[in-house]
Amino acid sequence: MTPQQAAHDIAGFVLSAPARFMTAPETFARGAELGFEGMDFYIAGRGGALGDVPADVVSAALYYFATDTIRTIWDRSATVLPRRRAAEEWLACGHRWAREHWADGPEYARAAELLSKPVHSALVSGAPVFAGVRLLPEPDDPKALAQHRCNALRELRGAMHGAAILTVGLSPLEAVLVRSPDVAELFGWEPPFPDAEPFHERWGLAEARTDRMVGRHLSVLDESELAELVEIVGAIGDAIA
């Protein structure tokens, strides 16, 4: 198995497993408990890994969102929690979600061990949120640790995908309209929106480029480790489906 193939095979899990805690009612409830409004915990939690930076820096990293939306949320959330603390609270929601919703059975400790190699050796070039997340404390228990490192890999893949969509000539909005058109307005983009059909071919090319870039980071694993990671990730995906 090649690193690029492994990157392709685990992409669905890397994207969807953290997304479950990000959109969970419990996470929104925790955000409200902390004092955040609506989606503010999402932006402050992910962007908080960057530290106390201007809103446009956060917009550059969370490129799927309209800049004006990021500015409003980032400025509004400034007094709720210090930025790093918001990021830690955000990741803690992911840790709790894994502990409570990931079924026993899969080899979570081994998954965390395998994910550790690419997560801790990857270059941070072009991946600022990933760089910030990697500096935050890791949990001890296997489920939470596997989720934590999966989320870090998600931030790395997201950064690589952002670069890829730009290189194929797509804008962030055009990529959203291909991947998740139902959230375009939620992400702050204003209709009317163009027909997304002409964007699909270039988006597919960007996906392939993303797999290739993430594969370079997975190349720290040998062929047997890559196959093992794909197998364990598949088992975890089945356990939390």
Q: What is the pLDDT of residues 19-65, one digit of tens each?
A: 999 999 999 999 999 999 999 999 999 999 999 999 999 999 999 99
| pLDDT tens by residue, 55-104 | 999 999 999 999 999 999 999 999 999 999 999 999 999 999 999 999 99
Domain boundaries, the chain: 3-240
Contact 52, 83 (CB under 8 A): yes
Task: Please determine, for residue 241, whether its predicted confidence score (pLDDT) is greater than 80.
Answer: no
Tell me what percent of the residues of the chain surpass a pLDDT of 70.
100
Q: Rounded to two decimals, what is the model's pTM? A: 0.96
Q: What is the pLDDT of residue 240?
A: 86
CA–CA gap between residue 210 and residue 8 (Å, rounded): 9
Q: What does DSSP assign to residue 199? A: G
pLDDT in tens, 117-176: 999 999 999 999 999 999 999 999 999 999 999 999 999 999 999 999 999 999 999 999
- Residue 159 DSSP one-character state: H
The angle subtended at Cα 52 by Cα 51 and Cα 55, nearest 5°, is 105
Contact 193, 82 (CB under 8 A): no
